[in-house]
Amino acid sequence: MRTLSITPLQFGTLVSSYNISAAVTGLFFGIIADKYDRKFMLQLNFIGFILGTIACGLSTDFETLVIARIIAGGFGGTLTAVVLAMVSDLIPFERRGNAMGTVMSSFSVASVLGVPIGLFIAEKFDWHYTFYFIAAFSFLVFLLSNLVFPKLADHIQPTRIKENLTRLWSLLIKPDYLKSYLLIFVNVFSIFVLIPYLAPFAVKNVGILETDLKYMYFVGGFFTVITAKVVGKYTDKFNPYKVMTFLLVLSFIPIYLYSTAEKLPLGIFLIISTFFMTMVSGRMIPLMTMVSEISATKDRGTFMGLLNSIRSLGSAIATIFAGVFIYENDVGTLSGFDQVGYFSIFLSFLIIFGCKHVYKILLKVQCERKSA
């Protein structure tokens, strides 16, 4: 925001461009998801993501960076759908909560290591070099994935494009699936009206130095790695609905504390930000465990593609939505962030009722499968 001299709304556009692109390509992925080997799709999207990330590093202004983010998002978003489909294919439901916890904790590992490293590179050199680092590291992961992951081709169904489009539409509007999409959308929306603006709010309102932002991500990510495993374990031990409800109610506290914070010492701020990160990220574990079981095995690749597309769309719309209400006032601080926080709490409250309904669908689906 500072180096490109962009407004909060432009910043929101920059962030959401990645997710809008991911949403669009997620629909395309839904058409072809079950026609190709999962490993092939993983590698193809990895290459596209790496090239898009390099383009981000080569960007010189706001416009070119948005275009590069669209390219990276188109492939990066589909990567997530492929990974989640692979987890759902390989891990039985009885252990899937723990597996989802492991996968979701990888985002926290990225926060613990990636974000502070990225900020450090930007401080010492320039923000362009952060993207070059991501591209180089991603290339190493690409090579490793080629060696480690098995081929997954049992789901392949040779069909024509017209048949795939018809199938995609039928899976999009199928009532049980549609309710899952809506629940994911609202949950992501309730989180992403806040997440992209955490750092600007911390600097402009709470008084945290730009050079200290890395500690927020490092500490928050570190504890999220731990809590993600705990949440995954308890999701399997009890049930996804109970764990999700507990996390939703508990998350009201850090959402309120962060969105209404004023000048704070770094230590107190880190406690609040860590509480926030562990709670809002933990919500995705029982939620994804619950909805992943609703789809039939033959539909799972397409279902996960649609689910990821809806999730990306929700985060993109939420970012732009919040950018309309959050603005920099005359004294240089952000106004409207507290109101967005109250709205996030309201949506989180509504999600509790949505989870109850979707969990009933899950029980019905499991009962039908056992009887079959």
Tokens of 74: 């188109």
Res. 34: pLDDT tops 70: no
CA within 13 Å, CB half, 18: 18
Q: Are 327 and 205 in contact (CB under 8 A)?
A: no
Residue with the bigger pLDDT between 237 and 267: it is: 267
Band the pLDDT of 98: cuts 50, 70, 90.
confident
Band the pLDDT of 207: cuts 50, 70, 90.
very high
CA-wise closest residue to 56 among 47, 45, 46, 69:
69
> What's the pLDDT score for residue 87?
78
**Interhelix angle 337-371/284-292, nearest 10 degrees:** 30
Report pLDDT digits (tens) over 13-28.
888 888 888 888 877 7
CB neighbour class for 308 (10 Å; exposed up to 12, middle 13-18, buried from 19): buried
Report pLDDT digits (tens) over 338-348.
999 999 999 99
Q: What does the domain layout of the chain look like in residue ranges?
A: 8-148+159-371
Query: What is the chain's mean pLDDT, rounded?
Result: 86
The CA radius of gyration of the chain, in Å to the nearest whole number, is: 20
Band the pLDDT of 249: cuts 50, 70, 90.
very high
Res. 159: pLDDT tops 70: no
Report pLDDT digits (tens) over 117-157.
888 898 888 889 999 999 999 999 999 988 888 776 665 66
> What's the pLDDT score for residue 349?
95
With tokens 């603006």, the residue in question is 197
> What's the pLDDT score for residue 242?
92
The superfamily (CATH) of domain 8-148+159-371 is MFS general substrate transporter like domains (1.20.1250.20)
